[in-house]
Structure 1
Amino acid sequence: MAGDAAQLIVPGPEGERQVRVSSPSRVLWPEVGITKLELAEYLVAVGVPFIEANGGRPVSLQRFPEGVDGEQFFSKNPPRGAPEWLRSVTVTYPSGRRHPQVVLDEPAGAVWAAQMNTIVFHPWASRAENTDNPDQLRIDLDPQPGTGFAEAVPIALALRDLLGEVGLTGFVKSSGSRGIHVFAPIEPEHEFLDVRHAVIALGRELERRMPDLVTTNWWKEERGDRIFIDYNQANRDRTMAGAYSPRPLPQATVSCPLEWSELETTDPTTLTIRTVPTRLAEVGDPWAGMHDEPGRLDTLLEWWRRDLDDGLGELPFPPDFPKMPGEPTRVQPSRAKRDD
């Protein structure tokens, strides 16, 4: 009933916290009957690796007050009524505007966010102590219509090898949908624009090696059925679902870290709120210790400069970004031809 509430005891680095979950029987995923309480209990079960992956960073909360079939919105500012132990940090958005954003430091913060009907957690690639310099290189492998996870797998494996060539170590996870995310820890010594350029350089090299399977074309009409390297996910204030974050899909799938050795045999639709805690208990966290040995972007930025010298310039930014230096016209190619 609406007036019911559950109290969860959540372990954490500062000891146990009690977090109230109102309307615990509210169904958030109707197709599989997963409730708000079950979501909160999931976040307790995966709390340690969840915070290791997503904690200490600005995070956007994607909230679904009526469940995954209802309206949603992004909450970046600390919501009213946030507990006093919940931290925030001031970040700078692409427009230049500065504003505080939530930081999760312990599992209780994630459970509190679930109480606020958060389903997807979107952490920044930079840490709260240094929001301007990412410590993760993130590559989003985005399947196009007619393709899916299976088509992205060989691209991810080739990407892993390419990262190794430039001195970086790739960590892989399912997106929770059809795609694959590959992260590489890096020294936090470059601005977001440089990291974006490193992703573009990486994508272009992969495109050269696998031209029929990979594309960096921003415009959908030019991609065909190739896997898109979504380089714009490397921009400031651009995020993707964090590791162990649920997704708002009918089966309550999770963006789940994987071992490279299991990628080819994984069915991402089986990685759900109800299965991932058991998996975690059996196989551990494939992303444990990710940041023990961060790499550098020197070689990728050399590739970026090489491509500039060869006439390959900047690529389009998202439509809500200010016009950037060297950026081509943000006009769909077919429309540009008609205008000519």
Structure 2
Amino acid sequence: MPYTEVEGRRLALSNLDKVLYPATGFTKGEALHYYVTVAEALLPHLRGRPVSFLRYPDGVDATAFFAKNVPPGTPAWVTVHEITQVSSTPLRQVLIHDLATLVWAANLAALELHTPQWRVEHEARADRLVFDLDPGPGAGVLECRTVALWLRERLAADGLTVLPKTSGGKGLHLLTPIEVTGSSTAREYAKAIALEAEAALPRLALSKMAKALRPGKIFVDHSQNAAAKTTAAPYTLRAKQRPSVSTPLTWEELTAAEDPDDLVFLAPQLAARLDRDGDLMAPLLDASLIRRLPEP
């Protein structure tokens, strides 16, 4: 078994040649390389947030393992935090604060990294707001864009700066930093905005998840603001047929997109994007953009 040293930590790496994305031949070793490549941009978005892993040890076409609790055999140097307020039983979850922990997680085939909207220092109190725009059958990312632009303007009216990223699938995620508030308050605000979107765009936006209502519409998912819910982190790989990435966007490139494929970004493309643009999601961490949610 090969070993590597990362930031003074000795890590055993396994099955680096295993193909995790059969449609493209993308291997576990390439997944590790990807996460090392984007670590400088990714780690600030993970810091302080308990990470839930979606693990695919046999590839994206095989069974996945969703892991919140710290996996067996975790090295003693990995930072673990007990989460007590969002589950009926306490959870012991990993915090990824450094490159060594990120490489360790990637070696577990933790392709997808998901985090809540709060940090451990204020558990179950949100410091950001998220809308997951999820297209139903017959709709796609370009229809999500229409809803995203409406949400951008509506939230700007409340003083909130909205940042877009791809979900890594067919949808979009919109995030905005907020003053720390109870997760239930954040979710109620998001739900109210989703209802407004549905009223303003009745042929396109939907505030309910019901499958019968989904064809041709965009579900404005506000539920991920609940304390127990998580969202795919910026720059995480997604377990699709190709190694797509949840990729931060500019509003200009989102507006200019003419084809859904214009908004699909694969792991090998991210290094060039980061070299050119830096972390487009960095403003999410800018204290000057934090705003208090309006009173209901």
TM-score by length of 1: 0.81
Structure 2 distance, partners of 1:56, 1:136, is 13
Alignment equivalent of 1:264, drawn from 255, 259, 268: 255
Structure 2 distance, partners of 1:71, 1:247, is 14
Equivalent residue number for residue 47 of structure 1: 39
Structure 1 distance, partners of 2:61, 2:215, is 30
Structure 2 distance, partners of 1:98, 1:65, is 26
Q: Following TM superposition, by how much is the alpha carbon of 1:224 offset from its aligned partner in structure 2, in angstroms?
A: 3.8
- Note if contact 1:177-1:268 (Cα within 8 Å) is conserved in structure 2: no
1:36 and 2:54 equivalent? no
- Note if contact 1:62-1:72 (Cα within 8 Å) is conserved in structure 2: yes
* RMSD of aligned residue pairs (Cα, Å): 1.7
Equivalent residue number for residue 295 of structure 1: 291
Structure 1 distance, partners of 2:15, 2:37, is 20
Equivalent residue number for residue 281 of structure 1: 275
1:122 and 2:119 equivalent? no
Deviates more, 1:117-126 or 1:282-291: 282-291
| CA-to-aligned-CA distance 1:243-286 (integer Å, 9 cap, x gap) | 00000111110000111111133435641111112211122110
Structure 2 distance, partners of 1:161, 1:258, is 17
Secondary structure, counterpart of 1:74 in structure 2: strand
| CA-to-aligned-CA distance 1:9-55 (integer Å, 9 cap, x gap) | 54xxxx55443321111111111111111101111100011111122
Equivalent residue number for residue 77 of structure 1: 69
1:211 and 2:202 equivalent? yes
Residues 226/270 of structure 1: CA separation in 2 closer, same or farther (3 Å cut): closer
Structure 2 distance, partners of 1:253, 1:70, is 17
- Note if contact 2:248-2:281 (Cα within 8 Å) is conserved in structure 1: yes
Alignment equivalent of 2:146, drawn from 148, 151, 154: 154
Structure 2 distance, partners of 1:168, 1:225, is 28
Secondary structure, counterpart of 2:125 in structure 1: coil
Q: Identical aligned pairs, as a percentage?
A: 35
Equivalent residue number for residue 320 of structure 1: none
Structure 2 distance, partners of 1:54, 1:23, is 26
Equivalent AA in structure 2 for residue 180 of structure 1: L
- Note if contact 2:118-2:227 (Cα within 8 Å) is conserved in structure 1: no
1:236 and 2:227 equivalent? yes
- Note if contact 1:103-1:128 (Cα within 8 Å) is conserved in structure 2: no
- Note if contact 1:176-1:268 (Cα within 8 Å) is conserved in structure 2: no
Equivalent residue number for residue 218 of structure 2: 227
- Note if contact 2:38-2:271 (Cα within 8 Å) is conserved in structure 1: yes
Equivalent AA in structure 2 for residue 40 of structure 1: L
| CA-to-aligned-CA distance 1:274-328 (integer Å, 9 cap, x gap) | 1112211122110123222211112xx42xxxxxxxxxxxxxxxxxxxxxxxxxx
> What pairs up with 1:314-333 in 2 under 5 angstroms?
none
Equivalent residue number for residue 126 of structure 2: 134
Q: Which has the larger radius of gyration?
A: 1
Structure 1 distance, partners of 2:158, 2:215, is 29
Residues 277/20 of structure 1: CA separation in 2 closer, same or farther (3 Å cut): farther
| Structure 1 alignment gaps of length 5 or more | 303-340
- Note if contact 2:85-2:124 (Cα within 8 Å) is conserved in structure 1: no
- Note if contact 1:137-1:184 (Cα within 8 Å) is conserved in structure 2: yes
Equivalent residue number for residue 65 of structure 1: 57
Structure 1 distance, partners of 2:96, 2:21, is 24
Structure 1 distance, partners of 2:85, 2:186, is 16
Residues 16/94 of structure 1: CA separation in 2 closer, same or farther (3 Å cut): closer
1:5 and 2:2 equivalent? yes
| CA-to-aligned-CA distance 1:182-212 (integer Å, 9 cap, x gap) | 0010111x22211110110111122222121
Structure whose residues are more often strand by fraction: 2
Residues 95/123 of structure 1: CA separation in 2 closer, same or farther (3 Å cut): closer
Equivalent residue number for residue 191 of structure 1: 182
1:173 and 2:165 equivalent? yes
Structure 2 distance, partners of 1:132, 1:93, is 7
Taking CA–CA contacts closer than 8 Å with sequence separation of 6 or more, which of the two structures ends up with the larger relative contact order? 2
Q: Following TM superposition, by how much is the alpha carbon of 1:93 offset from its aligned partner in structure 2, in angstroms?
A: 5.7
TM-score by length of 2: 0.93
Equivalent residue number for residue 329 of structure 1: none
Q: Following TM superposition, by how much is the alpha carbon of 1:92 offset from its aligned partner in structure 2, in angstroms?
A: 3.4
